[in-house]
Amino acid sequence: MGSKMNLTDAVTFLLVVLLATASRAQGTDFNVKHTGAKANGKSDDSQAILSSWKQACQSPGPSTVVIPKGTYLAGSLQFQGPCRSKSIDFQVQGTIKAPADPSQIKTDSWVLFQNVDGLSVSGGGTFDGQGAVAWSQNDCAKTGKCNSLPINLAFTSLTNSKIQDITSLDSKLFHMNIINCNNVTFKGITITAPETSLNTDGIHIGRSTGVTISGANIKTGDDCVSLGDGAQQIHIEGVTCGPGHGISIGSLGKYQNEEPVIGVTARNCTLTNTMNGIRVKTWPASPSGVASDLHFEDFTMNNVSTPILIDQQYCPYNQCQQKIPSKVKISKVSFKNIRGTTATAMAVRLVCSRGVPCQGVDVGDINLKYTGKNGSATSECSNVKPTTSGQLFPKICAESS
């Protein structure tokens, strides 16, 4: 009789263990409404959202933060790791709205995800930065300093993570800033702000390796995608951009000890009514730097001003020494199958540094038609001797110096 009881106890214990294991495998949901979020667009829901994050981060198994449909007013949201859970899904189904007054956000970024491995942010929801007041206070053009306003979404020191199907709306400064990340994918991203919104770069990547942007619709007042120093092994595909300033490498060479930009591929993108198309930009009088292995392929340009541009005399606020050449070395760059229309006669402008001329620039299958009335599309080249192939309109570097 005793042996039968022991067997029964053992079976019961095993079932309890299996049920607990299955529960952990399925994950645990942490709904922000259960921690006090009102979702009325007026009450401050910051602490409720942060409380749900803390619970999910400390959970031993897979966990999900759920932000249901509704409008959640929230100040600074700093989602910090490392987490005990090795898989956190941050599900935004509603709209999280920032205070309109930028002085109410005391941090560099309004929403920050930092030091997390295995993060997923998804759900189809919106991060509304309410940036109109901030744009009116932005004095970048006068001071040359643009870091006093908060970024909408900062992703810092993330690994093995995916950001998918979310919207950044009306950011006060950059929409998304990706720093010190490794193996992170951005898919199905929507970014929206008016053309007049100052310094609202769509997606900025710096000092990160293995970042993929796949399918993004970006309308903003600055670069749709920009890559800063240390961006390496970056893949960009299926981006639609406009209004905005195009897709940019740089600006580089403004600061000491910048890390190299190496291994960037962008393809199958469409730019419409943008200030520039594909741009590589470095400051004159710069410290030494490197930008290499940069490849742009299968782009459609619709009424884009200067669709192809290398600018090593970049000086937007006239606060630099133009006569001293840039020391950023640009090499192994290709522009292939770039087609469409240009809003200015200067369709292709390759202005490299006389101190360290560009090397290994390859241009092929270019067909850019000028939509204006003053002649046809032209190109300008200096300190570069590109290799050319295929159909070329306009002719590239016909009179290069």
DSSP structure string for 242-293 = -SS--EEEEEESSSTTPPPEEEEEEEEEEEES-S-SEEEEE-SSPPPEEEEE
Alpha helix ranges (H) inside 70-157: 132-137, 140-143
HEC string for 126-145: EEECCCHHHHHHCCHHHHCC
**DSSP helix/strand/coil, 18:** helix
From 117, 128, 222, 223, the catalytic residue: 222
**DSSP helix/strand/coil, 186:** strand
245 is catalytic: yes
C-alpha–C-alpha distance, residues 355 and 260, integer Å: 18
From 117, 245, 293, 311, the catalytic residue: 245
CB-CB contact of 333 with 362 (8 Å): yes
Tokens found for residue 317: 């606020």
C-alpha–C-alpha distance, residues 98 and 203, integer Å: 19
Tokens found for residue 5: 């009881």
CB-CB contact of 372 with 341 (8 Å): no
Count CA atoms within 13 Å of residue 236 on its CB side.
33
Q: Give the bridge partners for 47, in sequence order.
A: none
222 is catalytic: yes
Q: How far is CA 329 from CA 83, 227, 265, 282, 320, in A?
A: 40, 16, 18, 10, 19
CA angle 231, 200, 224 (to 5 degrees): 55
Instruction: Identify the sign of the CA torsion 212, 214, 218, 223.
Output: positive
Which residues carry out catalysis? Answer: 222, 245
